[in-house]
């Protein structure tokens, strides 16, 4: 029996629907993840907690703390003397900051700082409207000062650390409000994107004359969508770091984003891999079906 011909409009509509599904599915993945992590304080704090014990991240945080302290103490290095003082001060402060950040007490400071960040950015959302996002590391000021007092004879200037020197602005008010606006629409975006992805997938496969081929196209498109999502996450992190305003805030923001989005990156990679495997499976089944149909037709 000759294969049933499908009208051109149905084939075209099937392809359009499959493309819409591949566009909506990554949005559903991101918004679903964000609803789980970003709108639940306990889950958020659990996600960022490992940062406090990661040696590489500790190094970056110590660098950020050093930048804050040195900039507050020396300011713009407009003269050669100030430049030398800043370099010497940076070496001593960095060593002290590394010790403090690596100490057990820092884990609780990191948790408290992120709890405060969460309250301003996500908890109640409207409560923090119009305010910048600040990571408050001031609880370690006394420990850092004690470390520096122990080596005071090596300091080029008399250094007294004020708590406000360790309050790092991660996002200005405008950028923070953009994030808050996005968080407000998370539920709606998740429901709409999930429904669109599901409906388009069902209709796209149903309207196709060759459902195996439609499934192969769908899975291949989902693999591409997941790959694009990974690239978009990297781009969003780069954009957020660029909006932070200083090297110290960029370092800390990247550390937070790395920790928070780790699960999403793993899920995206897994989705891309599974989609490619399914696409290969459906392609193989299609080829097998064709090889069986040819002898039968002969």
- pLDDT digit string, tens, across residues 133-143: 888 888 888 88
Per-residue pLDDT at 273 exceeds 80:
yes
- Non-local CB neighbours of 77 within 8 Å, separated by 6+ positions: 83, 85, 86
Predicted model pTM: 0.72
Q: Report pLDDT for 134.
A: 84
Per-residue pLDDT at 126 exceeds 70:
no
Lowest-pLDDT choice from 120-124, 128-132, 232-236, 256-260: 120-124
Out of 144-158, 164-178, 236-250, 269-283, the most confident range is: 269-283
Lowest-pLDDT choice from 17-21, 35-39, 137-141, 268-272: 35-39
Percent of the chain topping pLDDT 70: 90
Q: Report pLDDT for 17.
A: 95
pLDDT single digits (tens) 33-53: 888 877 788 888 888 888 888
Q: For residues 66-76, give the mean pLDDT.
A: 80
Q: Report pLDDT for 128.
A: 66
Q: Report pLDDT for 28.
A: 93
Higher pLDDT, 79 or 184: 184
Per-residue pLDDT at 55 exceeds 80:
yes
Beta bridge pairs of residue 171: 133
Percent of the chain topping pLDDT 90: 22
């Amino acid at each position: 029996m000759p294969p049933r011909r499908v009208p051109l409009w149905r084939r075209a509509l099937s392809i359009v629907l499959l493309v819409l599904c591949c566009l909506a599915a990554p949005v559903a993945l991101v918004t679903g993840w964000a609803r789980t992590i970003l709108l639940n304080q306990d889950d958020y704090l659990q996600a960022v907690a490992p940062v406090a014990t990661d040696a590489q991240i500790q190094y970056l945080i110590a660098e950020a703390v050093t930048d804050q302290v040195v900039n507050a103490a020396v300011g713009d290095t407009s003269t050669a003397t100030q430049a030398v003082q800043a370099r010497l001060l940076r070496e001593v402060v960095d060593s002290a900051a590394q010790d403090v950040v690596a100490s057990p007490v820092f884990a609780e400071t990191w948790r408290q700082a992120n709890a405060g960040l969460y309250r301003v950015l996500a908890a109640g959302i409207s409560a923090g409207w119009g305010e910048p996002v600040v990571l408050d590391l001031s609880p370690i000021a006394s420990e850092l000062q004690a470390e520096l007092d122990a080596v005071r004879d090596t300091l080029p200037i008399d250094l007294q650390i004020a708590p406000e020197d360790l309050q790092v602005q991660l996002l200005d008010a405008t950028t923070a409000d953009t994030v808050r606006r996005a968080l407000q629409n998370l539920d709606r975006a998740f429901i709409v994107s999930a429904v669109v992805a599901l409906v388009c997938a069902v209709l796209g496969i149903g309207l196709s004359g060759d459902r195996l081929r439609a499934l192969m196209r769908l899975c291949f498109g989902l693999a591409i969508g997941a790959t694009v999502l990974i690239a978009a996450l990297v781009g969003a992190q780069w954009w957020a770091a660029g909006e932070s305003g200083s090297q110290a805030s960029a370092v800390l923001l990247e550390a937070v984003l790395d920790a928070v989005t780790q699960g999403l990156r793993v899920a995206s990679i897994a989705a891309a891999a599974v989609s490619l495997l399914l696409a290969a499976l459906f392609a193989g089944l299609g080829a097998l079906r064709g090889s069986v149909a040819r002898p039968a037709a002969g």
